[in-house]
Amino acid sequence: MPSLIPELNVVRKNWRKVDLKIALCYPNIYRAGMTGLPIRLLYALFNAREDVVCERFFIPTKNEPLTSLESNQPLKKFDVIAFTLQYEIDYVNVLRMLSEAGVPLKRKERGKDDPLVIAGGPCATENPEPLADYIDMFIIGEVEPILNKLIDGMKQIKTPKEVVDLASLEGVYVPEARNLVRKVWIRRLDDAPHPLAQQVPLVDSKSPYMTIFGKTFNLEVTRGCSRGCRFCLIGFTARPMRPRSLKKLEGILEEGMRYTPVDKVSLIGSALSDFPKLEELCEYIISNNWRIAIPSIRPDAVTEKLARNIVRGKQRRITLAPDGTSQRLRNLIHKGIEEDQIIQAAKILHQNGIKQLKLYYIIGFPTEKSEDIKEMVLLTKKIAEIGFNSIHVSVNPLIPKPHTPFQWEPFPAPTYLRKHLKLIKKELEKHGNIRVSGLNIRRAQIQAFLSLGDRKVGRVIELAARYGASLGAWRKAFKENGISLGHYLRRKNLDEQLPWDFIQIDLNRCSLIKELEKAYSEPLN
Ligand code: SF4
């Protein structure tokens, strides 16, 4: 496809001078893949090795052929096909990309002339089993500490079947070997390389290839999170929060903005608000006349100074995520935020010039009732009265995640979700400046099915991919397989074997059960 996309900092290498050719695949379109950090980071990490060439692939945005951005080569010509799995719903695109490229889908059907197919990213760490029949090897956790050993190991492999030899590497899961695996992670973020020459599309802002925050330099400020909100995958699989030092960040920006001459810095980190020098970092960015992009912020981290700096950095819209619909539920999920703090944060942001606010809520937490939803409606109305030009309320169903205390919880009943989404829309959209949106309930169910699934789930993904990945395609795939969605979305017994039990993260089953008990010990009113 898009050698059609003009970009800054594309890496092109002579294929004859390298030992390993890696196709880095994002199973969605360019705009989605190039907005975040993972592709830019992995591209830099792989290409930093002189013996490796790494080229990128995305799902075609229009009707482009599935070839690499850098040299227009087809997937099949690479030694390794590496997927980064950021969202479960993209699994279907993994199989569509392999199929389109003529690579046999099932790993057992691939032979010595086929590429090795690997995957990493938060969804691989969460639960690789739904794709275990299709992927030769998964990286569980963060790749940096094992990167060189991994590349050296892959260079030795003559056929994908030999991948079992790599199962002894820390953080590597080989479905054929069914090995136990402990997540690998980087202790000090200052020791991790950061991409300096980043790929930025040189296209018009209206182009479908323009990234969501425009032409930005992505700065990874923190990684992981120590907060432990009981529903959150990152809060349990990517502990602890690791910050970069301010000095290091300033150094990265000084050099990076020379290689990547854009005027906006996008700050990346799940626990960005917990970065102790956030105000100073914003001041440094503004003092260089760069703009700032901060996607979301914790209400208790909003100060006058920070809000002023965000606005001086020319940002006019931001997201606050109360998550729980009532204070009782915010306590139950261990969010650690009071209603007063949310309102106060909204006031400070508005007074300092933020015009558009997004509020993110999750419905369907354990013990939730209509009273909780009504409290959310009241809170949102109070925030709307502050006077923002527009408020976007995003309401999404709880998707129970592996490795969290809610992994045993059922997916909320669709009738409950429909009824309350309708109520929320009816109550809030009376206000001209509020817009309500949310994930389609069927899509959310499919996402939960993919999060919580075992190896049998792969057959459904394969059929859904074959039938075009629409909701109708999923329905047909479920029907043909005779697989019951309800089985995967039900409440699990606490002593039940779970598909991801072979992955060791931080907390063992007993600790997660204790956290679940603490959640249920919150008073009902
Ligand atoms: S929801 Fe946010 S603050 Fe809570 S654990 Fe997840 S990343 Fe951390």
Q: pLDDT by residue (tens digit) across 287-308?
A: 999 999 999 999 999 999 999 9
Residue 446 CA to residue 469 CA, distance in Å, equals 11
Between CA 410 and CA 416, with CA 413 as vertex, the angle to 5 degrees is 140
Residue 2 domain flag: no
* Tally of domains within the chain: 2
128: helix, coil or strand? coil
pLDDT value for 303: 95
Kindly list the protein residues whose Cβ atom lies closer than 6 A to any atom of ligand 1: 225, 227-229, 232, 234-235, 270-271
Final residue in a domain of this structure, among 118, 151, 182: 182
Final residue in a domain of this structure, among 135, 157, 182: 182
Nearest CA to ligand 1 atom 4: 229
Residue 143 domain flag: yes
Judge whether residue 2 has pLDDT over 70: no
Out of 221, 223, 234, mutate this one to test ligand 1's pocket (max ligand atoms within 8 Å of CB): namely 234
**Lateral strand order in the sheet of 217-220:** 217-220, 264-268, 291-293
Q: Which atom of ligand 1 is nearest to the CA of 334?
A: 4
Residue 525 domain flag: no
For residues 393 and 318, membership in a common domain is answered with yes
Neighbours of 13 (CB within 10 A): 17
Give the mean pLDDT of 505-525. 91
The pTM score is 0.96
Where does the pLDDT of residue 3 fall: very low under 50, low under 70, confident under 90, or very high at 90 and above?
Answer: low
pLDDT value for 524: 74
Distance from the alpha carbon of residue 232 to the mean position of ligand 1, in angstroms: 6
User: How far are the Cα atoms of 78, 97, 120, 151 from residue 134, in angstroms, in the given order?
Assistant: 17, 12, 13, 20
Mean pLDDT value across the chain: 96
Residue 86 domain flag: yes
For residues 172 and 297, membership in a common domain is answered with no
For residues 89 and 197, membership in a common domain is answered with no
For residues 246 and 365, membership in a common domain is answered with yes
For residues 240 and 139, membership in a common domain is answered with no
pLDDT value for 1: 45
The pLDDT tens digits of the residues spanning 305-317 come to 999 999 999 999 9
For the residues of 455-501, what is the DSSP string, one character each? Answer: TTHHHHHHHHHHTTSSHHHHHHHHHHHT--HHHHHSPPPTTS--TTT
Give the mean pLDDT of 262-267. 97
Final residue in a domain of this structure, among 131, 158, 182: 182
For residues 316 and 178, membership in a common domain is answered with no
Distance from the alpha carbon of residue 124 to the mean position of ligand 1, in angstroms: 19
Name the H helices within 3-131.
30-35, 38-47, 91-101, 122-126
Name the H helices within 5-59.
30-35, 38-47
For residues 253 and 110, membership in a common domain is answered with no
Residue 199 domain flag: yes
For residues 129 and 248, membership in a common domain is answered with no
pLDDT value for 154: 97
pLDDT value for 299: 96
Neighbours of 472 (CB within 10 A): 11
Nearest CA to ligand 1 atom 3: 227
The pLDDT tens digits of the residues spanning 323-335 come to 999 999 999 999 9
For residues 61 and 174, membership in a common domain is answered with yes
For residues 383 and 478, membership in a common domain is answered with yes
Distance from the alpha carbon of residue 227 to the mean position of ligand 1, in angstroms: 6
Residue 223 CA to residue 141 CA, distance in Å, equals 12
pLDDT value for 4: 73
| Residues 131 and 119 sit within 8 Å (Cβ to Cβ) | yes
> 306 lies in which domain range?
189-520
Task: Note if the bond before 201 is cis, omega within 30 degrees.
Answer: no
Q: Which atom of ligand 1 is nearest to the CA of 235?
A: 5
User: How far are the Cα atoms of 3, 15, 210, 253, 461 from residue 72, in angstroms, in the given order?
Assistant: 7, 13, 20, 32, 28
Residue 214 domain flag: yes
Q: What is the CATH number of the domain that holds 496?
A: 3.80.30.20
Helices 441-451, 457-466: axis angle to 10 degrees equals: 130
Residue 206 CA to residue 67 CA, distance in Å, equals 24
For residues 239 and 148, membership in a common domain is answered with no
Distance from the alpha carbon of residue 128 to the mean position of ligand 1, in angstroms: 22
